[in-house]
Amino acid sequence: MASSSSLLGLAASFALLSLFTPSSCFDPTDISYNDSKVALSWQSGSATWYGAPTGAGPDDNGGGCGFKNVNLPPFSAMTSCGNHNLFKGGKGCGSCYYVKCLGHPACSGKPSHITITDLCDGGICLDAPFHFDMSGIAFGSMSYPGRSNELRHAGRLAIEFARVPCQYPGRTISFHVEQGSNPNYFAVLIEYEDGEGDLNQVEIMERRSRNWVPMRESWGAIYRLDTSRPLNAPFSIRLTDDKNRKLVARNVIPANWRPNTIYRSVVQYS
């Protein structure tokens, strides 16, 4: 939980920021508060950064969750590796957090919105219960304007963080059929789920079937199904989060599906 001084600082930030019109969360450094956000439970952690100073972290703009082009919207390079307590064996992929740094003159005290897109599983990431190894852009966003380089030169920082619901305005849940998928092996990357529930189960239903078949978590946010016979498309996919909320994307994968193709559903967690 936050200290009394932290809560007073947060309340003061709320009073100031409430004078402005809230903007879309697609601007990842412009955060508006409401009562529910003020009531968030802040925890202590640590943070470092890696990659290019103004980059998204990984050289290929990907990461251990399987997401592609995290340098582009909606992630906009506001991404981070999480240690094992944050990555959660892949179930933490796509989780959203507010983070703010402490104890450095360049720290603004204003939270930045980041998304877990990768795993940090060694070295400094094992030294704290919760450690974020952030992109250069995300790390620098915790600074006062014009002082991002100063903050990045600080190295490791103490932070406070809070889990928040993800919000992707105007986007529905997307399914990226992975390269290498074929009639006997189907793998799909699941992206852009609103809310803060982690996925507990992903199931698939074939054409002319009434049975939901569990898919296996392959790695990160990628789930797969291996079969001894060809699968019959179109496929429906059912998601169950850790709050047991179920969401069905009916016939989201068409009969003529192709590998390395994104199929967008018409559903979203509200």
Helix (H, G, I), strand (E, B) or coil at 46: strand
Q: Which residue's entry shows tokens 């508006």?
A: 32
Residue 234: asked if its preceding bond is cis (omega within 30°), the reply is yes
Is cis: bond before 129, omega within 30 of 0?
A: no
The answer to whether 94 and 65 have CB atoms below 8 angstroms apart is yes
Q: What is the DSSP string of 6-36?
A: HHHHHHHHHHHHTTS----TTSTT-----HH
Report the relative pairing of strands 185-191 and 222-226 from DSSP bridges: antiparallel
Residue 12: per-residue pLDDT? 38
Q: What pLDDT does 62 receive?
A: 82
Residue tagged 């070295």 (tokens):
123
Give the pLDDT means over successive 10-residue stretches in the chain (270 positions). 38 34 35 49 96 88 90 95 95 95 97 96 91 98 97 96 93 95 97 85 96 96 96 97 92 98 90
Cβ-based burial of 153 (10 A; exposed 0-12, middle 13-18, buried ≥19): exposed
Q: Give this prediction's pTM.
A: 0.81
Task: Return the residue matching tokens 């699968």.
Answer: 231
Distance from the Cα of residue 70 to its chain's centroid: 10
On the CB side of 121, CA atoms within 13 Å amount to: 9
Taking the C-alpha atoms of residue 226 and residue 22, their distance in angstroms, rounded to an integer, is: 46
State how far the Cα of 85 lies from the Cα of 104, in Å rounded to an integer: 25
Beta strands in 71-152 (DSSP E): 79-82, 96-102, 112-119, 131-135
Question: What are the structural domains of the chain?
Answer: 4-164 (2.40.40.10), 174-264 (2.60.40.760)
Collapse the DSSP code of 229 into the 3-class scheme (helix H, G, I; strand E, B; otherwise coil) and give the result. coil
What's the rounded Cα separation, in Å, for the pair 60 and 71?
9
How high is the pLDDT of residue 102?
Answer: 95
Residue 197, pLDDT score: 66
